[in-house]
Amino acid sequence: MHRSGLQETQSGGHAALSRIELQIVQKLCDGYQSKEIAAMLGKSKATIEGYVRLLYAKLNARSRAQVVARAFALGLLDDAPPNGQLESRQIS
């Protein structure tokens, strides 16, 4: 494990996030659940949950909140939410 928070690979480099992993992190940041992300990305809920587990490992996180926080801290997401607040969504 490197001080940056990203898991190191066998060659000493960092485990990069794939395009789909970055999309999932962004959706997590927006407050979406696995089922919603799956529908948006045309994947199964189980597939999204598998990617979330990979994100936990790659970012050395124990929760979805830590995944999002570490992604922001590492500059992996385009823009931080205004005033450090996550987008609020109406719950139906």
Asked, for residue 45, whether it belongs to a domain, the answer is yes
Asked, for residue 91, whether it belongs to a domain, the answer is no
Asked, for residue 5, whether it belongs to a domain, the answer is no
Q: 35 lies in which domain range? A: 19-76
pTM of the model: 0.71
> What is 25-43 written as a DSSP string?
HHHHHTT--HHHHHHHHT-
Cβ contact 17:23 at 8 Å: no
Asked, for residue 6, whether it belongs to a domain, the answer is no
Asked, for residue 8, whether it belongs to a domain, the answer is no
Number of compact structural domains in the chain: 1
Q: What is the pLDDT of residues 37-57, one digit of tens each?
A: 999 999 999 999 999 999 999
- What is the residue whose two structure tokens read 């936990």? 56
CATH (domain of 39):
1.10.10.10
CA proximity to 34, closest of 52, 18, 10: 52
Q: What is the pLDDT of residues 53-71, one digit of tens each?
A: 999 999 999 999 999 999 8
